[in-house]
Amino acid sequence: MTYLENLPTCRLMFLLIVAYFSGLPHTCYGQVERIASKLSEDQLHGHIRFLADDLLEGRGPSSNGDKIAQLYLETQFRTMGLKPIASLGGYRQSFPMLGMQSKSATQWEFCKGTITVADFSYFKDYIAVAGRPEKEIRLRDAEVVFVGYGIQAPEYQWDDYKGVDLRGKILLMLNNDPESDPELFGGARRLYYGRWDYKYEIAAKQGAAGAIIIHTDHSAGYPFTVIQTSWTGEEFELSDSQTPRMDMRAWMTEPATKTLAKAAGFELDAMVASAQKKDFRPVPLGVTLSTDIECEVRQSQSANILGMIPGSDPKIADEHVVFMAHHDHIGVAASRDEKGDTIYNGAIDNASGTAALLAMAEAISNSGIQSRRSLLFVAVGAEEQGLLGSKYFAEHPPVPNGKQCAVVNIDGIGFLGPTRDVHVIGYGKSSLDKLVAAAAKKQSRVVVPDREPSKGYYYRSDQFSLAKVGVPGVYLHAGYEVIGKPEGWGKAQLDEWTAKDYHQRSDEYNPNWDLSGAVQDIRLLLEVGWEAANQDEMQTWAKGDEFEAARKAALEAVSRTK
pLDDT of residue 8: 46
| Among candidate residues 390, 405, 401, 458, the one with its CA nearest the CA of residue 435 | 405
Mean pLDDT of 288-293: 98
Residues forming beta bridges with residue 404, ordered by sequence position: 320
pLDDT of residue 19: 38
Residues forming beta bridges with residue 304, ordered by sequence position: 93
Cα 6 from Cα 26, distance rounded (Å): 32
Domain boundaries, the chain: 44-83+310-561, 100-297
Say yes or no to pLDDT of 7 above 70: no
Secondary structure of 401-452 in the HEC alphabet?
Answer: HHHEEEEEECCCCCCECCECEEEEECCCCECHHHHHHHHHHHCCCEEEECCC
pLDDT above 90 covers what percent of the chain?
86
* Predicted confidence (pLDDT) per residue in 464-517, tens digit: 999 999 999 999 999 999 999 999 999 999 999 999 999 999 999 999 999 999
H or E stretch including 227? helix 224-230
* Predicted confidence (pLDDT) per residue in 418-429, tens digit: 999 999 999 999
Cα 364 from Cα 369, distance rounded (Å): 7
Helices 516-534 + 41-51 axis angle, to 10: 100
| Among candidate residues 413, 478, 419, the one with its CA nearest the CA of residue 443 | 419
The secondary structure of the chain in percent helix, strand, coil, rounded to multiples of 5, reads: 35, 25, 40
Q: Does domain 44-83+310-561 have CATH number 3.40.630.10?
A: yes
Residue 68 contacts residue 205 (beta carbons within 8 Å): no
Phi then psi for residue 259, to 5 deg, are -65, -45
Contacts (Cβ under 8 Å, ≥6 apart) of 477: 412, 423, 425, 450, 451, 457
Q: Give the pairing type, strands 170-174 and 136-146.
A: parallel
Say yes or no to pLDDT of 21 above 50: no
Strand ranges for 254-400 from DSSP E: 283-309, 320-326, 331-332, 343-344, 374-380
Give buried/exposed letters for 445-457 (b at 16+ CB in 10 A, else e).
bebbebbbbbbbb
On average, the pLDDT of the chain sits at: 93
Q: Where residue 28 falls among pLDDT bands split at 50, 70, 90? A: very low
pLDDT of residue 552: 97
CATH code, 100-297: 3.50.30.30
Mean pLDDT of 294-308: 97
pLDDT of residue 180: 78
pLDDT of residue 12: 41
Mean pLDDT of 105-110: 98
Contacts (Cβ under 8 Å, ≥6 apart) of 560: none
Q: Where residue 272 falls among pLDDT bands split at 50, 70, 90? A: very high
pLDDT of residue 296: 96
Q: Give the pairing type, strands 374-380 and 320-326.
A: parallel
Say yes or no to pLDDT of 17 above 50: no
For residue 161, the number of C-alpha atoms closer than 13 Å in the C-beta half-sphere is 20
Cα 482 from Cα 415, distance rounded (Å): 10
Neighbours of 12 (CB within 10 A): 13
Helices 516-534 + 353-367 axis angle, to 10: 50
Residue 98 contacts residue 239 (beta carbons within 8 Å): yes
DSSP state of 370: P
